[in-house]
Structure 1
Amino acid sequence: MKRLYITLLTTVFAIGLWSCEDDFLNKKSTDLSDDLIWSDPDLAETYLMNLYTSVRLANKEPNKWEGSAGLTRGHHWALFSSISDESIYSNDDQTYLIQTGQLSPSNYGFTSTSWGRNYLGIRECNDALQKIPTLEIDDSKMNELLAEVRFIRAVRYFELLRGFGGVPLIGDRVVQLDDSFDGLYERSTIDETVDYIINELEFAINNLPEQGVQQMGRATAEAAMGFKARTLLYAASPLFGTESSAKWQAAADAAGEIIALGKFDLVDDLDADPAENYRLLFLQGETSEDIFMRHYTQTSRSFPMEKMNAPNGYGGWGGNCPMQNLVDDYEMDNGLAIDEAGSGYDDQNPYVNRDPRFYATVLYNGVEYRGRELETFLPGGLDSPDGNEPWNTSPTGYYLRKFMDETSDLNNYDITGGVTPWRYMRYAEILLSYAEAQNEATGPNTAGIGGLTATEAVNLVRERAGLPLLSGLSQAQLRDKIRNERRVELAFEEHRYYDVRRWMIAMDVENEAAAKVAITRAEDGTLSFDYSQEALTGKSFSEQHYWFPIPIDEITKSNSQLEQNPNYN
């Protein structure tokens, strides 16, 4: 008999994360057969929670002791920021080949598991969808479980869509090795893939519990609405086909429906200082801003994010280090870009009077951190190449602050995994998506579903950040402001890599040099700032890199039936 094995750790992880009050905690874990799992509705539901995570498929992905990889790849080792113009990863881990334009079907580095991981997840979902109807549960519960699995499957397909474009749609098939593979490798168009995802999400919206009823961390109707809005935003973007007002309006309406619910708000009451309020947001449990997130517990901790990203002088490993390119895109607190007349920016005193979100996102020389000032200067800076473990020094002159629990113990690896949630989606993203789509559909000043204009939606985000509100902008001017707001508000949340591609501006921004700051301290303590050096030489982007390449071994396994993305040899 075919057997499905669940290790002790996987079972405890699933139960501890999703069903902390469940009696399963008191059951002895053993290898469980397929028949046993699907004969017990409670056990089957617990098993289904594993569909929110992924197994390790490559080196430098989280192993079973480091919190399984999530539904999307966030919050582990190198972030997607480090294959974009947000950051450089201090220890490479196969990110440099992408940054330097070497991504190819046989040399895909950091992105190597995107295809296989998501199709593995889709197959697991399809298997579950065949088994759920065998459970002895009422129709309402059955539809709820089916909707939850179809939500997860939709997210998997969305990950494929934004990485590869149109992909093979497997439907509900669970293919065995001795089955016919006819039609399995036929790629659907982008529009067909989008339509399939939206159909899955519509079923989820209509059958999932609402937030506040569903267990935290599991799919809700609102989460499905959020992914519908995200999918339609991508579908309306230039990379995904011919632009039209109708596509942009559909994206705006989907985001506007979430706004119209009146259930979500931007968190602004954690601290009177907008910078500290924003910093603390990412250390909270579920808030009024959160639409979908992954939770961790004391017994099921996350990957050690703080250890990976903390400065070397504190015993950290450097990790995802913000580029000067990103730092330069934070406005001054008067709302002007640093290169605008009257901004007040001084490149020899660059960290004063900046967008408050800068202080919550980036660690820079002189900032108070963990009991002392950060020292990235040379010579002698504690967090420079002259400091502790120089191989973990930032290549950019900056370190990551966002998401970091500054009370965590960096010197005890066994407990450095934190309990801070990873936010897959929050209300600020929805407001910015609405602003972008509504602006493209009707311009800056026409209200849509939810009662907001594009300008008003982006201003809600800026107001929470403590920045001046926008007014009187043209459609093109507001477009630029919205794009910059996404850059800084959603920094390191794994949007930027895809945003510059869907906007088709990657040929410009990704071919800019990976800038850094080099700070020299004179004998009298005076600091001088040099921005002429590169954090990583050879940064490069070519047209084919708008899409991931399908790995060559997948093409080979299909007997070359699977069509490769354009311009990859």
Structure 2
Amino acid sequence: MKTLRNISFLFLLAVAATSCNKGLLDPTNPEAITSADVWKDAKLTESYVSGLYEDVPGWDYNLYNNITDEARSNYPGHTPNQVVIGDWDATSDPMDNWDATYKSIRKINELLAQVDQTPLSAERKESVKAEAYFLRALHYFNLVKRYGGVPLLDKAQAVEDELLVSRSTLEASFSFIETELEKAYAGLPETAVGGKASRWTAKALLGRSLLYQASPLYNVNNDRELWKKSADASLAVITAKKYSLYPNLKTLWLTPGTNQESLFEVQYKMPEKHHGWDALVKPLRLANADAGQCSPVQELVNAFPMSNGKLITEAGSGYDPKHPYEGRDDRFYSFIAYNGAKMKGTTSGPPLQEITLEIYKGGVDYDANPANVIYNTITGYYTVKAVNPENTIYTYAYSSTQPWIELRYAEVLLNYAEAQNEYLSAPDASIYDAVNEIRSRAGITQAIPAGSLSKEQMRTLIHNERYIELCFENKRYWDLRRWKQAVSRLDGKSATGVIITKNTDGSFSYNYQPIDPNPPVFTEKMYFLPIPFAETTKNPNLLPNNPGW
């Protein structure tokens, strides 16, 4: 029989040592375990289910944060800088997830084909199916948001089946995701352990998927009812009152499995699974084999409002251009490290040191040593969002264990507010409530009065709230695409950084300059990614490719 190779060596040793069926497994040779063996043993079946969660994308090294108006990578030859200038195509696409995602879907389909034959209880079989429906929907959503309509494979393919499957329509693809999530909602538990899906996880993902489907890129017929369906799905999560905003933005990502804001997260645990976020974003002074990979741009910095809720350009905001980092909302201080801010870290293990950032001409965290400029910020800012300041063993792609929160309650509130605002002719009180709840958590002292904004003004506010609240969470790139704003906001528009000069009296002067060496490129054809050339070569039924490719 074909050997199942996606079960970890360590797990198999543990199961082999404890399995009630002592004759089934050989602990000295996990490779001898076949796919048929997995479905005969409850522990192996459960391991297979857990392994499906391992396929959910987690922390991205440095791509999506650095290809929009959020941040830039400091290394000129790195992948995001090639994406920014449009140097990618169907043969070399860093955003491509086609092959990996269909491999994950294939494993899910195999589970659904076999689960009824396993020794699991009848109740557990049904909940396993619901988990599979949720994960399959998540994978298909990640395909559809990239490529539009895709082949819909809902069963394990046999050799005698038609393997060269054509693409389904965009509408059919979104409908499939919706059906999957409704089945998942019906079968998943009310609550779930950290890292697993509950019924409210499924409902929240449905709200997100419908939000995308309702958005201009995908909703070419402007079907307003799609906005209503999205709002209803997100509202169901809100009214269930199972989740709420976590009070501390600085530790939101440091409480895996117990965070009331997290609806679904990818978990990490040393030494088996880890990532490199803590090393990735540090200045060279606190670096250990990696540094400066996510320099926030001035456009993002300017988007954070003052603590009174007004944008820095609004009358009465209190913004002082001579002291630009004073009086901002709490998200600014929780997500952005600026000149004069404190930052903790270490270069080679304990003890921790706390530094005051010197991000000015001649400053050690900017250009004091010309040979080290490439390792420091290129915009005048560093990222501290989701950083664990107490981590003492971080290094390149290693030892960070913060969970990747794929779905959190703040997004649910924003998804609801956007969908409800687009559906109605004018924003109702529930939209103000959702937006004000998020802004209140950010320390904004003045709520937006109900009835004070038009639909268009509320849309602008919600878009900006998504920009800052969800920054560095791999949302901005997809938001700009689904709103069809990527061309107007990105193409030919250099991101901006700040050059700070320390004056003789100790004050600072600020000079804002473009930082992209070449004009960014985002053309109309890039709204949908190309189906990879390798896939269309194997399966010509995937052609024609998306327009322009």
TM-score with structure 1 length normalisation? 0.86
Match of 1:550 in 2: 531
Once the two structures are superposed, the pairs formed by residues 92-103 of structure 1 within 5 Å of their partners are 92-103=77-88
Q: Does 1:352 align with 2:339?
A: no
Pick one of 107, 113, 116 that aligns with 1:133.
Answer: 116
Match of 2:275 in 1: 303
Q: Does 1:426 align with 2:408?
A: yes
Cα separation, partners in 2 of 1:259 and 1:7, compared to 1, 3 Å: closer
Rounded Cα–Cα distance in structure 2 between residues aligned with 1:4 and 1:554: 25
Cα separation, partners in 2 of 1:328 and 1:28, compared to 1, 3 Å: farther
Q: Decide whether the 8 Å contact of 2:277 with 2:387 is kept in 1.
A: yes
Task: State the SS of the aligned residue for 1:131.
Answer: helix
Q: Deviations over 1:53-91 (max 9, x none)?
A: 24xxxxxxxxxxxxxxxx13x313114121221111223
- State the one-letter code of the partner of 2:3: R
Per-residue deviation, 1:174: 2.1
Cα separation, partners in 2 of 1:180 and 1:189, compared to 1, 3 Å: closer
Pick one of 493, 498, 505 that aligns with 2:485.
Answer: 505
Per-residue deviation, 1:202: 0.8
Per-residue deviation, 1:9: 5.3
Range with greater deviation from structure 2 (390-399 or 418-427): 390-399
Per-residue deviation, 1:209: 1.5
Q: Deviations over 1:468-525 (max 9, x none)?
A: 2112111111111011111111111111111111111111211321111112234554
Per-residue deviation, 1:175: 4.7
Cα separation, partners in 2 of 1:337 and 1:548, compared to 1, 3 Å: same
- State the one-letter code of the partner of 1:515: T
- State the one-letter code of the partner of 1:225: K
Rounded Cα–Cα distance in structure 1 between residues aligned with 2:120 and 2:49: 15
- Cα RMSD for the two superposed structures: 2.4
- State the one-letter code of the partner of 2:316: G
Rounded Cα–Cα distance in structure 2 between residues aligned with 1:480 and 1:134: 53
TM-score with structure 2 length normalisation? 0.89
Task: State the SS of the aligned residue for 2:407.
Answer: strand
Q: Decide whether the 8 Å contact of 1:444 with 1:454 is kept in 2.
A: no
Q: Deviations over 1:302-343 (max 9, x none)?
A: 212101111112115111221111111111222222222332
Range with greater deviation from structure 2 (531-540 or 38-47): 531-540
Match of 1:218 in 2: 196
Q: Decide whether the 8 Å contact of 2:13 with 2:30 is kept in 1.
A: no
Once the two structures are superposed, the pairs formed by residues 38-77 of structure 1 within 5 Å of their partners are 38-54=39-55, 71-72=56-57, 74-77=58-61
Rounded Cα–Cα distance in structure 1 between residues aligned with 2:505 and 2:386: 36
Per-residue deviation, 1:190: 1.4
Q: Deviations over 1:441-471 (max 9, x none)?
A: 1245436xxxxx1111111111111222112
Once the two structures are superposed, the pairs formed by residues 403-414 of structure 1 within 5 Å of their partners are 403-409=386-392, 413=395
Q: Decide whether the 8 Å contact of 1:444 with 1:475 is kept in 2.
A: yes
Per-residue deviation, 1:562: 2.9
Rounded Cα–Cα distance in structure 2 between residues aligned with 1:300 and 1:401: 25
Q: Does 1:259 align with 2:238?
A: yes
Pick one of 79, 95, 98 that aligns with 1:115.
Answer: 98
Q: Decide whether the 8 Å contact of 1:516 with 1:535 is kept in 2.
A: no
Match of 1:278 in 2: 249
- State the one-letter code of the partner of 1:99: V
Q: Deviations over 1:267-299 (max 9, x none)?
A: 22xxxxxxxx21121222222211111222344
Match of 2:294 in 1: 320
- State the one-letter code of the partner of 2:146: G
Q: Decide whether the 8 Å contact of 1:317 with 1:393 is kept in 2.
A: yes
Match of 2:70 in 1: 86
Task: State the SS of the aligned residue for 1:307.
Answer: helix
Rounded Cα–Cα distance in structure 2 between residues aligned with 1:358 and 1:126: 44
Q: Decide whether the 8 Å contact of 1:308 with 1:318 is kept in 2.
A: yes
Match of 1:480 in 2: 460
Match of 2:432 in 1: 455
Q: Which runs of 5+ in 2 are unaligned?
A: 16-21, 345-353
Match of 2:134 in 1: 151
Q: Decide whether the 8 Å contact of 2:216 with 2:222 is kept in 1.
A: yes
Once the two structures are superposed, the pairs formed by residues 132-211 of structure 1 within 5 Å of their partners are 132-176=115-159, 179-182=161-164, 184=165, 186-211=166-191
Q: Decide whether the 8 Å contact of 1:6 with 1:30 is kept in 2.
A: no
Q: Decide whether the 8 Å contact of 1:381 with 1:387 is kept in 2.
A: no
Task: State the SS of the aligned residue for 2:534.
Answer: helix
Rounded Cα–Cα distance in structure 2 between residues aligned with 1:233 and 1:539: 27
Cα separation, partners in 2 of 1:292 and 1:28, compared to 1, 3 Å: farther
Task: State the SS of the aligned residue for 1:223.
Answer: helix
Rounded Cα–Cα distance in structure 1 between residues aligned with 2:150 and 2:277: 33
- State the one-letter code of the partner of 2:61: W
Task: State the SS of the aligned residue for 2:249.
Answer: helix
Task: State the SS of the aligned residue for 1:550.
Answer: coil
Rounded Cα–Cα distance in structure 2 between residues aligned with 1:226 and 1:547: 24
Per-residue deviation, 1:225: 0.9
- State the one-letter code of the partner of 1:300: E
Rounded Cα–Cα distance in structure 2 between residues aligned with 1:388 and 1:13: 49
Match of 1:230 in 2: 208
Cα separation, partners in 2 of 1:464 and 1:172, compared to 1, 3 Å: same
Per-residue deviation, 1:29: 7.1
Rounded Cα–Cα distance in structure 2 between residues aligned with 1:37 and 1:219: 23
- State the one-letter code of the partner of 2:284: N
Task: State the SS of the aligned residue for 1:279.
Answer: coil
Rounded Cα–Cα distance in structure 1 between residues aligned with 2:183 and 2:363: 60
- State the one-letter code of the partner of 1:541: F
Q: Percent identity?
A: 32
Task: State the SS of the aligned residue for 2:406.
Answer: strand
- State the one-letter code of the partner of 1:481: L
Rounded Cα–Cα distance in structure 1 between residues aligned with 2:27 and 2:243: 38
Cα separation, partners in 2 of 1:381 and 1:520, compared to 1, 3 Å: farther
- State the one-letter code of the partner of 1:341: A
Q: Decide whether the 8 Å contact of 1:292 with 1:424 is kept in 2.
A: yes
Per-residue deviation, 1:14: 11
Q: Which runs of 5+ in 1 are unaligned?
A: 16-22, 55-70, 269-276, 448-452
Cα separation, partners in 2 of 1:201 and 1:116, compared to 1, 3 Å: same
Q: Does 1:563 align with 2:544?
A: yes
Task: State the SS of the aligned residue for 2:107.
Answer: helix
Task: State the SS of the aligned residue for 2:265.
Answer: strand
Rounded Cα–Cα distance in structure 1 between residues aligned with 2:62 and 2:13: 23
Per-residue deviation, 1:559: 3.1
Cα separation, partners in 2 of 1:171 and 1:278, compared to 1, 3 Å: same
Rounded Cα–Cα distance in structure 1 between residues aligned with 2:235 and 2:35: 43
Per-residue deviation, 1:13: 12
